[in-house]
Structure 1
């Protein structure tokens, strides 16, 4: 089960998980499809459809109950007594009564009389049910509307990862940029994980190792304020899983790098996370990212995004591993 050579990755390049879960205990599945999470993950089209269907079904069900109560009360056969509901003689009028009751939009000529206790009880029940149903859908639409699902699309990850010499250490570098300028991402946290396959001596037990990697950015911390594009780097030291890999071994190795960026949106205070996955095929040994920032005298700071993925050769980086330097 190789991560890349066999075409199988744990994560897509955008960081989405590619795992097929089978034989899950059926008792635990009831927690998977809970109302809030399931509905929020649906598209707007499906949510609008379920909203319409939910209200129409509830109106029809209560209209049927109103019709049954009036049938039992003989409102459709007798004309010499006070009916349960005034000005209602057909199922269509019962449906209109149900809509007006549940949506609290006023009755007009249709109104419940005091002669029918069951009608008064049903009026109370449907009114409360309508308020609860509307509250649930209003909350759902609000949560769906404020979810920052599209905010991560304004973050750019470099297509390539580079390994080059910096301060006498080999470093693995990734560039991260933000193209939105109306708001700043706060309290940003950057993490990198090394995912590899390990096999026991008997070659029977195969497991995936998930190892966190130390990171530094241009601000010398795994927390950064992403005002302009930053280079996130991992120093390849004795604690690094890349410590013994030279350029040739790296190209033939089998692992996956997952980089996550978790941030808080300034305008809403909500947390969001973007992820990106790299494999050895995405790593360029002995290269550096071209500078993007220009600070010309008398001009504002300029960031040229045409150079975001641009690389140039680093002649100072040797093809040997970090342990051999």
Structure 2
């Protein structure tokens, strides 16, 4: 009872006041910004314009999409207007009855814009058309048609690629809200639950983790966000997972684990961030995706395990109850990994006999004091 009360008090009064800075949010977004980037380095983003456009947010992407088409239509509309102006096809020049214009029925800037739009999107209403009178108009028609195909292919391809990016597939992979620490198979383990909300599989899935913390080297150098590898496994290994139902992945807290020297009483005093990664290939598109989440000390529950989530119905089907996905149950757990290993060593010594080198057997001669 006191354990629960203490944990509630710490979480309620100290947890909110101590807002820990996350590098990775719960939904996988990275909380990092770049400052003082040189102008030459920024130009590299325009060299790789395809990736830059794909990484833009939707509001900026739609702005670029609309601006690219409207800008090209208006630009070529000005060029068509210039051709008509130079050839004196406009009504203010009062062309003669036998005058053959470069483009039929261009009477001003508005009609030039409409002809530019019809040319680039290949609408072709048939009211305005290029004649054989001007070679400049024919060249401009060819140039706008080719450039229009390029703009259309690039922008439509960028929209399609943005929609079909595997990042959206990662939204249907979810991790448990909390990580738990309890015994599993006689070992103290850190456990996390992950589920695939779609029936389509992730092929070649691989799970691993990184522990981010600030460390000081023996030379006195302070390393912020120092990364320590955390190996996560399931009963069948950590690669090529059969990810059809929710899995409970675990990390064994042994002598090589950074959690070995932590205890239930000191866990909330630690300053670390556990980032968990799941890499896989989307079965339907063959595109690779990565799902990320993170856990801070307040989200690691010591002495708990996850509630059962998979059951079998009377009809012989397996049912997954996501109501218990992040639900935890308190279990008896050693308050530190070192205590568990010391307990095992003590039990092993109790089953083994030891020789006492200081024990000396002294022989005693028996005398018979009875005389006959």
Same fold (TM over 0.5): yes
Secondary structure of the structure 1 residue equivalent to 2:166: coil
| Structure 1 position 177, deviation (Å) | 1.3
Q: Give yes or no for the alignment of 1:197 onto 2:211.
A: no
Q: Give yes or no for the alignment of 1:131 onto 2:145.
A: no
Q: Following the alignment from structure 2 to structure 1, what is the Cα–Cα distance between the partners of residues 170 and 316?
A: 30
1:151-166 equivalence runs, <5 A: 151-166=169-184
Higher mean alpha-carbon deviation, 28-37 vs 135-144, is at: 28-37
Secondary structure of the structure 2 residue equivalent to 1:112: coil
Alignment deviations for residues 30-79 of structure 1 (CA, whole Å, 9 cap, x no partner): 22454323332344454334322321221111111111112111223232
> Is contact 2:73–2:116 with CA below 8 Å preserved after alignment?
yes
Q: Following the alignment from structure 1 to structure 2, what is the Cα–Cα distance between the partners of residues 309 and 90?
A: 67
1:286 to 292, 299, 303: 303
Q: Following the alignment from structure 1 to structure 2, what is the Cα–Cα distance between the partners of residues 135 and 190?
A: 37
* Correspondence for 1:321: 337
| Number of equivalent positions | 320
Task: From the two aligned structures, give the one with the greater strand fraction.
Answer: 1
Alignment deviations for residues 142-184 of structure 1 (CA, whole Å, 9 cap, x no partner): 2122123332222221111111122332111101112223x22
| Structure 1 position 91, deviation (Å) | 2.0
Structure 1: state its 5+ residue gaps.
Answer: none
Bigger relative contact order (CA 8 A; separation at least 6) = 1
| Structure 1 position 138, deviation (Å) | 1.9
Question: If you compute each CA radius of gyration, which structure gives the higher value, 1 or 2?
Answer: 2
Runs of 4+ in 1 over 6 A off after TM superposition: none
Structure 2: state its 5+ residue gaps.
Answer: 1-16, 342-372
Q: Following the alignment from structure 1 to structure 2, what is the Cα–Cα distance between the partners of residues 83 and 312?
A: 85
Higher mean alpha-carbon deviation, 30-39 vs 234-243, is at: 30-39
Compared with structure 1, are the counterparts of its residues 75 and 289 closer, same or farther at alpha carbon in structure 2 (3 Å cutoff)? same
* Correspondence for 2:194: 176
Compared with structure 1, are the counterparts of its residues 46 and 207 closer, same or farther at alpha carbon in structure 2 (3 Å cutoff)? closer
TM-score, normalised via structure 2 length? 0.79
1:150 to 168, 175, 190: 168
